[in-house]
Amino acid sequence: MSLNPVIRDWRDRRVWIAGASSGIGHALARLLLERGARVAASARSEERLRALAEEYPGRVVVLPFDVKDLQAWKRSHATLLGEWSAIDQLVVCAAGYRPVRAWELQPEQIRDMVATNVQGAMTGVATVLPGMLARGSGAISLLASVAGYTGLPKALVYGPTKAALINFSEALYLDVHGRGIAVHLVNPGFVDTPLTQQNDFRMPALISTDEAAAEIVRGMERGQFEIHFPRRFTRWLRLLRRLPYPLRFAALAKIAEQP
């Protein structure tokens, strides 16, 4: 069942992607550009964004900034409206990640990851949403994670930030879907990115960023609210989170022991 309008044509669709310099965001930017969209590319690394713009001349607006910076969101938004006059879709892929166990918790890392993953995404939504509501059209796409489904080993900080995005996306949909705004909640499993390359354990059903981007675009085109993949892995986790705590904790304890 489609909870959002389907997307039949990406040509000249104006898409702002935060986190476009690497990983899933970069692969998604390239795929949408190939399909005819116009992309505003944001991230901290201006050099990588410039390289993307050079590859697709005249199709990319480069807006380098840190998503933790409220004023930078405002400045970049104003700049982009000067270029495009309106934004059709915001996609927030920017994220911080570090595998953490309880005895490794550090306040500074907690603050930084929450600011990037939660406050950064919410600030982006708050920045673009008034214009979309005024027009009665637009789309918000937030990259969460299956790590937000349930408490997972080594995701002591990252997992809760993604759980917050899942909750935020659900509440956001309830508020805006009747006012012409689409909301996409993207929950990937393991994707081969610079972030997941920090992991020292086997990542089941690991896929490439290009595969992830294709799954995301396919889900958006179909009008899905939650886009989760690869399903051979995410279906198992969706089942796991429905188990009573004794069974769930027993299963997760075995996972935590695996190298």
Enumerate the active-site residues. Answer: 158
- Distance CA(62)–CA(76), nearest Å, equals 9
CB neighbours of residue 5 within 10 Å: 14
DSSP states of 144-183 as a string? Answer: --GGGTS--TTBTTHHHHHHHHHHHHHHHHHHHGGGTEEE
| 8 A C-beta contact, residue 227 and residue 215 | yes
**What percent helix, strand, coil does the chain show, rounded to 5?**
50, 15, 35
Phi-psi region of 194 (alpha: psi -120 to 50; beta: other; left: phi over 0): alpha
**Residue found under tokens 């190298």:** 259
- Distance CA(45)–CA(26), nearest Å, equals 12
CB neighbours of residue 217 within 10 Å: 18
C-alpha angle with apex 118: 115 to 119, nearest 5 degrees?
A: 55
